[in-house]
């Protein structure tokens, strides 16, 4: 049996000012997984993600990615394996054209210009960024597109794992679904493992396969979405409550609904089942 792609063992992380952010985290992530990290503001989701790609070095314990321990591996090596898309695209757009922006990563890892070109075109294609934007300044683009450029710029490094921090904050329902559909496509058709950090429970219910709930530096729950959402008392510890449709199903368990109901469609299907005569 092959070992998991990312292995986190007894990870402890303290901020430079001494605050304990992560306390004894153990987790494994396989290639091609689709995971969401949930938890209240300040629960350690972002810090944990930054430990996964080596931006933060563990204070204790180990993060091993594809056989490389983040403590001893240079960050350049780490980011080639685990890409991290920051929440605010404005923090990560440094260049004056979209082309340079996407090419920035591959150039940093000193690829030949031909290879850089190939990767830029591929990444732009995957995120659906039209060639006509290549010469535009990323700062001029609307937020949705800036986010796509940011994702493309990470894709160009061809990491096996991509972490996306709060991709749906500030987006409307339609835009959120478009972004999520796109991430699912990356996961299913291109085989990247995707980790999504989010507060948006209807989105989690609809898209997540595995949910990791973090609270006060610990993993409170880890499992399939329906299972994690079946324990509202655990989620409440980290200020999460399941979407209303799940809450409705939980309150009507006696009538035969499953506490792990995630979407309206599932609710309807169960209703049909229950009322079939």
Partner 1 sequence: MHKTLLGYVPDQSPIYAIHPFVKVYFLLIVSLFPLFITAPEWNFFIMLFTLALMWYSRVDVKILRIYAPMAISMGFIILLSYTVLGGVHPEYRLLTKPLGIPIYWERIRDATVVYFRILPMIATMVFFLSTSRERDVIVAMRSVKIPFVITYVFAMALRSAGMVLEDFGIVRQAEQARGFDPAGKSLAYKIRKYIMYMVPLFALSLRRTEEFTNALIARGYAFTGKASKVKRADYVLTHYTFRALDGVLVGIITITFIAILVLRYGFGYFGLDDSWFIIWAQSAL
Partner 2 sequence: MENQLNQEELTAEQIWELQPGEKRSVGVIHIVLLALLIGIGFVVGAFGSISFPLGFGVNFFWTGIAVQQVGAIWFGAWGVLAASIFPFFSNAISGTPFYVSLAYIPANAVQAFLPAWAFRYYKADPRLKSTRDYLILLAAMIVSSAFGALYSPLVVLKGFGLLTAESVPLFIWGWFGGNVVAGIVFNFILLKALSGVVIRTPSFVKKWWA
Partner 3 sequence: MSAVIEIKDYTWRYLYSPNPALENINLTVHQGEFIGIIGPNGSGKTTLAYSLNGLIPGQYHGIKQGGIKVLGKDVESYPTGALQKSVGVVFSDPEAQFTTMTVEDELVFGMENLGMSIPEIRERLEWVVELTDLSPLMLKPPYEISGGQKQRVALAAVLAMRPPIMVLDEPTSMLDPISRRRIFEVLAKLKREQRNTIIVIEHSLENLVPLADRMVLLHNSHLLLEGETRQFFEQMDLLLEKGLFPPGIMQFFHYLKQQGRYDGYLPVTVAEAAEKLTSLLEPAQEGKQ
* Spatial distance between the Cα atoms of 215 and 38, rounded to a whole number of angstroms: 9
3 binds partner 3, rule: CB under 8 A: no
Q: Is 273 in the site for partner 3 (CB under 8 A)?
A: no
Q: Count other C-beta atoms under 10 Å from residue 46's C-beta.
A: 22
**What is the spatial distance between Cα 63 and Cα 78, in angstroms, rounded to a whole number?**
11
Number of residues that bind partner 3 (CB under 8 A): 38
**11 beta partners:** 25
Candidates 26-34, 83-91, 170-178, 194-202; binding stretch for partner 1 (CB under 8 A) = 83-91
The residue among 150 and 203 lying less far from partner 1, judged by its C-beta, is: 150
Nearest CB to partner 2, comparing residues 125 and 143? 143
Nearest in space to 82 (alpha carbons), one of 3, 161, 187:
161
Nearest alpha carbon to residue 246 among 260, 228, 265, 232: 260
For residue 252, the partner it binds in partner 3, partner 1, partner 2, none, with Cβ less than 5 to 8 A by kind, is partner 3
Residue 66 or 200 with smaller CB distance to partner 3: 200
| 96 lies in the binding site for partner 2 (CB under 8 A) | yes
Q: How far is CA 244 from CA 153, 215, 259, in A?
A: 36, 22, 12
Structure tokens at 90: 């404005």
Whole-angstrom CA distances from 237 to 40, 55, 148, 216, 240 are 9, 28, 34, 9, 7
Q: How far is the CB of 132 from partner 2 (least distance, A)?
A: 10
Pick from partner 1, partner 3, partner 2, none: which does 136 bind, CB < 5 to 8 A by kind? partner 2
Q: Which residues pair with 9 in a beta bridge?
A: 62
Shortest distance in whole angstroms from residue 34 CB to partner 1 = 21
Question: Which pairing describes strands 193-197 and 161-165: parallel, antiparallel, or unpaired?
Answer: parallel
List 10, 60, 71, 74, residue binding partner 1 (CB under 8 A): 74
DSSP state letter for 74? -
> Which chain residues interact with partner 2 by CB under 8 A?
96, 136-137, 139-143
Q: Which residues bind partner 3 (CB under 8 A)?
A: 39-42, 169-175, 199-202, 236, 238-241, 243-245, 247-248, 251-252, 254-256, 263-264, 267-268, 271, 274-275, 277
**Residues found near partner 1 in the complex (CB under 8 A):** 17, 50, 53, 55, 74-76, 79-80, 83-84, 86, 88, 90-96, 104-106, 108-109, 139, 153-154, 157
């Amino acid at each position: 049996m092959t070992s998991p792609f990312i292995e986190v063992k007894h990870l402890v992380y303290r901020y430079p000012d001494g605050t304990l952010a992560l306390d004894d985290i153990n987790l494994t992530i396989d290639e091609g997984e689709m995971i969401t990290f949930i938890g209240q503001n300040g629960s350690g989701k972002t810090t944990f993600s930054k430990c996964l790609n080596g931006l933060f070095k563990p204070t204790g314990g180990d993060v091993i990615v594809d056989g490389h321990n983040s403590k001893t591996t240079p960050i350049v090596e780490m980011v080639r394996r685990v890409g991290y898309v920051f929440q605010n695209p404005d923090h990560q757009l440094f260049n004056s054209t979209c082309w340079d922006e996407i090419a920035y990563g591959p150039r940093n890892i000193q690829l030949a210009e031909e290879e850089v070109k190939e990767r830029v075109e591929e990444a732009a294609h995957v995120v659906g960024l039209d060639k006509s934007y290549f010469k535009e300044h990323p700062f001029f683009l609307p937020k949705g597109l800036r986010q796509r450029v940011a994702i493309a710029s990470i894709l160009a490094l061809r990491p096996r794992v991509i972490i996306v921090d709060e991709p749906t904050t500030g987006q409307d329902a339609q835009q959120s679904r478009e972004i999520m559909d796109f991430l699912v496509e990356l996961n299913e058709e291109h085989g990247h493992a995707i980790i999504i950090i989010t507060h948006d429970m209807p989105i989690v219910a609809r898209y997540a396969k595995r949910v990791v709930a973090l609270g006060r530096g610990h993993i409170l729950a880890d499992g399939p979405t329906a299972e994690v959402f079946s324990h509202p008392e655990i989620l409440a510890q980290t200020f999460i409550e399941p979407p209303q449709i799940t809450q409705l199903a939980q309150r009507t368990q006696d009538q035969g609904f499953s506490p792990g109901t995630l979407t309206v469609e599932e609710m309807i299907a169960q209703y049909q089942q229950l009322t079939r005569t």
